[in-house]
Structure 1
């Protein structure tokens, strides 16, 4: 074959596809199959894939690269295909039962919270947080005390009777952030969130003490956590004029933590529907949510919150220990991993 013919054939074949610098962005792994975890164990999975290699103008040997620019291949330049990451911007939602016998679990959460926040903060140079607590029902305080706040009618000496007349619509809205826990074993004070918001930001003085006030939601309410988290994700409640206006941010990772001692038999809807609402609030990206639950790790057939956490979100952890700090450490590792793969919507 002549040299001219060989050169002509080579030109017709075009560049070797393997030499192209174009690569697809990483894809998220599917949510774990319900048969993939053994009952009775703490679980934690991730939804990340292998990173995309960066384009380079030189090879690993220092020689000029023969990789052609995307424009020379007739393809548009899509820019950097690596995930942007959450850059330390995280929205934390704590969904806490107000059912009876929750006093010790609320106390352990409050005790573990400073360690949790310090661990998260150490992972991000610019930690920009929203922290909101919602409880498991739409009532405020104790219905018994609200009806008769006299010493004979209300059995809780510390109950804030003088606040009953000033309760707002948001105080009695399912999924709205808690700002004034009231009832048996509750804080029974206005927790003093600045700016008129129902969630803590980094502008809040003494955020650890403020969270301790918010998380002590008391024992005179319900445990409808599935219904509460769904309501907290609704567009109208997060609208600028809604009760939780501004809490959910499109460019922030979302971490949801459940604290309960029951299996939530009374929430409206099903785990699949709750998961769809949460995912829709994050523009269809289940990998932008980290789920963490303090409850029995095995998902009994009737444990719907456990089903929600374990089977619909790739980043999740479930544990039930006397000390919540080790479980929170696992959760913070998941947050760091999910943040690195996060793509703002």
Structure 2
């Protein structure tokens, strides 16, 4: 066999290698499409670049420690791929931010007979309650609304024949001026009228049916609102459901602006009898309240001043005790409601620390 024929296998091998190289393309290191090396940060200008991760990669691959005082990193610019670029949503900080003193207070009060002492004790305890909360929250920002368990304004009998009204001081001249909201179940009270009521407009500023930090005399105005009298019913479950309903809280509603998405809600009930007349069930009322807070029962504090033994037919007790994690029930026979409100304040602090605005 000739030498030329003996070398043909080698030539075939070489040809195969050249063909393989042609198929694989050029060396990435020599290509204009090569991946550039990691970039280092420019010379320091005294500013720390804003970064998205707690550590960054340097050209040597060593992490740069986080600056514990600022929560940012120093040194090299991060080359970490953002979560959004990987198709993962940015869920933000999952930790609670707290209510930061933003609280909506809803007082739901019975207008049945023999409520004089309870309404008076509530009025006496209110300044202490507010002062205690103010001491806990530097930026205390409140909405305060009082509603009663009746859809009638004042006394139906006096409204029909006011000159024969037996209640001293009844505002007969205001009967014709009562608005639709005055006679709407769950609407905030601004002019209590009836037996043992204030029987005068309480001067709520801003045309609202609830108090804000703009109110010049908070304690005096609340005392006026809370003395709602004894000429009505105690349908508290129905009243609270209506008070937080979209129909009353949306723009144009009687309570427009009362409920805030970024505020904790505290509901306080005061009654001397079980509510046996309200439409619906405690479960339905709880669903309405939770729905008003975007499905978050943890954003609600329930407080009730009533008979603490919670009889089986006591629907308000069921609502307070079994559907919300933060609650307290106090005895309405206590002569001083301030200690009970101190416990309620603790519940507010607990709920606020875990609050995540919706």
TM-score band, normalised by the shorter chain? 0.7 to 0.9
TM-score normalised by L of structure 1: 0.78
Tell me which residue corresponds to 2:218: 207
Deviations 1:234-253 (A, max 9, x none): 10100110000000000000
Listed as ranges, the gaps of 5+ residues in structure 2 are 1-53, 55-64, 74-79
Tell me which residue corresponds to 1:344: 357
Residues 78-227 of structure 1: pairs in structure 2 closer than 5 A: 78-150=91-163, 153-227=164-238
Tell me which residue corresponds to 2:286: 275
Deviations 1:79-112 (A, max 9, x none): 4221011111000000000000000000000000
Residues 180-329 of structure 1: pairs in structure 2 closer than 5 A: 180-320=191-331, 321-329=334-342
Deviations 1:213-235 (A, max 9, x none): 00000000000000000001110
Distance 1:179 1:331 in 2: 25
**Does the residue aligned with 1:104 lie in a helix, a strand or coil?**
helix
Distance 2:280 2:91 in 1: 41
* Higher RCO (CA < 8 A, seq sep 6+): 1
Deviation at 1:70, TM superposition (A): 9.8
Flag the 1:76–1:258 CA change in 2: closer, same or farther, 3 A. Answer: same
Deviation at 1:143, TM superposition (A): 1.0
**Does the residue aligned with 1:264 lie in a helix, a strand or coil?**
coil
Answer yes or no: is the 8 Å Cα contact 1:120–1:332 preserved in 2: yes
Answer yes or no: is the 8 Å Cα contact 1:71–1:77 preserved in 2: no
Moved more, 314-323 or 273-282: 314-323
In terms of Rg, which structure is larger?
A: 2
Deviation at 1:57, TM superposition (A): 4.5
Flag the 1:284–1:77 CA change in 2: closer, same or farther, 3 A. Answer: closer
- C-alpha RMSD over aligned residues: 2.2
Listed as ranges, the gaps of 5+ residues in structure 1 are 1-20, 22-55
Deviation at 1:71, TM superposition (A): 6.0
**Does the residue aligned with 2:272 lie in a helix, a strand or coil?**
coil
Aligned residue pairs total: 283
Distance 1:78 1:240 in 2: 30
Distance 1:323 1:70 in 2: 61
**Does the residue aligned with 1:201 lie in a helix, a strand or coil?**
coil
Tell me which residue corresponds to 2:47: none
Distance 2:175 2:284 in 1: 35
**Does the residue aligned with 2:298 lie in a helix, a strand or coil?**
helix
Deviation at 1:58, TM superposition (A): 8.6
**Does the residue aligned with 2:317 lie in a helix, a strand or coil?**
helix
Distance 1:262 1:120 in 2: 29
Flag the 1:157–1:79 CA change in 2: closer, same or farther, 3 A. Answer: closer
TM-score normalised by L of structure 2: 0.76
Deviations 1:249-279 (A, max 9, x none): 0000000000000001100000000000000
Deviation at 1:140, TM superposition (A): 0.6
Deviations 1:163-203 (A, max 9, x none): 00100000000000000000000000000000000000000
Answer yes or no: is the 8 Å Cα contact 1:70–1:77 preserved in 2: no
Distance 1:57 1:341 in 2: 28
Answer yes or no: is the 8 Å Cα contact 1:70–1:76 preserved in 2: no
Deviation at 1:76, TM superposition (A): 5.9
Deviation at 1:281, TM superposition (A): 0.2
